Amino acid sequence: MDHKLLLAGEWIETGDWAEVNSPYDGSPIGRVAQGDSELVDRAVKAGHQVFSEGGLPQYERAAILDRAADLVSERLDDLAKTISEEAGKPIKTATGEATRTIGTLKFAATEARKLTGGTVPMEASEAGMGKLAVMLRVPYGVVGAISPFNDPLNLVAHKLGPAIAAGNAVVLKPAGQTPISALKLAQILIDAGLPNGWLSVIPGGGKEVGNAIVEHDLTRAITFTGSVPVGWGIAGKVPHKKVNLELGSNAPLIVNHDGDWQTAADKARIHAFSHAGQSCISVQRILVHEDIADQFIERLVTNIEGLVVGDPAGENTDVGPLITRATATG
């Protein structure tokens, strides 16, 4: 199936297609239209234009996000299947991600209704006696967003939901391995009533599309989730912009002898191997007190031996493939 890209509310073909293949068996899932720097320029300018024309009122943003959450619920099975197919995530884990997306959008809707300014206590200074200062929260304008492959629906919602809630237009580059989930979420936001111009989804390479988003004069804020070198490289390129980074980690689990080490061993089975460990919050190191190390290791190994590895479409599968063959062999 062919998937067009979204340019300011219009679904378009570009003539340049990239195949999305299953990480499990390499079978084709679909083709996705690819963008370039020229399309990024058009997308950013379209977002800037609609923002400059007056923006979306808070109640409308909240209503759109609430409706989008309801539509995710209605399309949950299809979204979970898409996540599983293109990311190789086991279907039960993919269903959990799609379900979390509902909450992400609802939280964003709630925040849209809560956004307020404030007053500044001018009388804290003698010169401020008899004066009143008001603080207003205002949107940036156009937010550039770059999302990763490992949570291709919920992490996209983490970027789009809050940005829209705050009154910003968004230009998103989804991960090249998993763009279809992002495009389906974009369709949901359009179906929920998001007007043209407020969202563009431009798949493509990081060097052209990603850099064009980051460096465009009219993107005022950048949100990126991905590797540490790329993230800090983005921050270094645009020190004058607001840059939010969610980067990789080397997360330890510390297990002491006087704690509930049995539960820790059981939980480590889940958190070390969920999505084959392809998560910045997965358990990547375990430091265990020597007094319980042997018992802990025995329990953990028994737990791991019970994991079902295989086809992510299988309802009992716990661990699917890594995202690419190069990742698995590198």
Which of 105, 215, 216, 221 has the alpha carbon at shortest distance from 169? 221
88 Rama sector, left if φ>0, alpha if ψ -120 to 50, beta otherwise:
left
Phi and psi torsions of 187, nearest 5°? -60, -40
DSSP string, 229-265: HHHHHHHHH-TTSEEEEEE----EEEE-TTS-HHHHH
Helices 76-87 and 91-114, interaxial angle, to 10°?
120
DSSP assignment string, 256-267:
-TTS-HHHHHHH
Catalytic residue among 60, 111, 215, 246: 246
209 in helix, strand or coil? Answer: helix
* Residue 19 annotated as catalytic: no
Find, among 212, 99, 203, the residue nearest to 157 by Cα. 99
Which of 280, 298, 305, 315 is an active site residue? 280
Based on the residue annotation, tell me whether 111 is a catalytic residue of this protein.
no
**Active-site residue list:** 246, 280
